[in-house]
Amino acid sequence: MRYTSLIYPILTISLASTAYARNKQQHPINSPLLTPAMPPPSSSTSTPGGDSTVILSDVLGNDRSINIFAGFTRDFAPISKRFEDSSLNTTILAPINSAIMGLPRKPWEDLEDYDKLGAEAYEGGDGQDRAQRNLRRFVEAHVVPASPWKEGEKLKTLAGGEIWWESRDGGKVIQPGNIEVSSIASKVHNGEVWILKGVRNYASQ
Ligand SMILES: *[C@@H]1O[C@H](CO)[C@@H](O)[C@H](O)[C@H]1NC(C)=O
C-alpha cells in the first residue's frame, strides 16, 4: 500500500525532528540561569476563558502528544480554514498520538473498501483519493462545530454523526463510544482543543 507506506515514515521523521528540536531548545546549556527563562511552548497556549487574539490554528500544533492528528488536519483546507476563522467556534477532539498509532487499521482504511476492492483498495491515484477522503472523514468526526459545548448537548460533528459528552469521575467522556477526555489542552478565542485517550469510530460517521 503505497499511501500507507509513505505517510508513517514521514510522520515518524517529523515527530523525531520535533522532539529533537525541542530538546535542543529546552536545554541549550546546562545553566540554571538560562533554563527557567525558556518555558515549553505549550505553556503559553491558553488563557482560561479564552484569549482575545489567540485562535485554534495558533495552538493546535503546540502539544506534541497530538501532533499526528494536528498534521492530518493540515491536509484539508476547509478544516484548517475553520480553525483560522475567529468568527467560527470549534471544539477539536484530538486523539492522542498513541491512540492513532495503536489503531487496528490506519485512519484512512475502511473495511468496506477492502471488501469491495480487495488489498489494492489504496493503490494508484484512485486509491490515494479514496484514502484522502477517508482521512478527511476521520478528521471531521473529531471536529465539533461549536464552543462552548455544554454537557449533554447533542451536536453533529463535521462528519455528520451525533455527539455529546458526560461528566464522569471528575472528567469528561465523549459519547457515543465512552471515549475519555484526558485534558483540555487549550482554550482560545474561537474554541477549545480537547485531548482524547481514544479515537471515535470513524468507519460509519
Ligand atoms: C465563541 O467562543 C467565545 C469564547 O471564546 C464565546 O465567548 C462566544 O460566545 C462563542 N460564540 C458562540 C457563537 O458560541
Ligand 1 center from residue 52 Cα (angstroms): 11
pLDDT tens for residues 95-122? 999 999 999 999 999 999 999 999 999 9
pLDDT in tens, 14-44: 444 444 334 333 333 344 444 444 444 444 4
How many residues in the chain?
205
CA of 117 to the centre of ligand 1 (A): 45
Q: Which residue CA neighbors atom 11 of ligand 1 most closely?
A: 89
Please give the DSSP secondary-structure letter assigned to residue 191. Answer: E
Q: Distance between CA atoms of 107 and 130, rounded to whole angstroms? A: 12
Residues of the chain scoring pLDDT < 70: 1-52, 202-205
Residue with CA closest to ligand 1 atom 14: 147
CA-to-CA separations, 92 to 46, 130, 150, 185, 195, in angstroms, rounded? 14, 24, 14, 10, 8
Q: Under CATH, domain 2-204 is a member of which superfamily?
A: FAS1 domain (2.30.180.10)
| DSSP state string for 36-75 | GG---GGGGS--TT--SS--HHHHGGG-GGGHHHHHHHTT
At residue 134, the pLDDT reads 96
Pocket of ligand 1 (CB under 6 A): 50, 89, 147, 189
CA of 49 to the centre of ligand 1 (A): 10
pLDDT at position 201 is: 81
- HSE value, Cβ hemisphere, 13 Å, CA-based, for 42: 14
**Contact between 197 and 188 (Cβ < 8 Å):** no
CA of 150 to the centre of ligand 1 (A): 12
CB atoms within 10 A of CB 179: 22
Domain positions in the chain: 2-204
Pocket-testing residue among 147, 149, 153, 188, ligand 1, by greatest number of atoms within 8 A of Cβ: 147
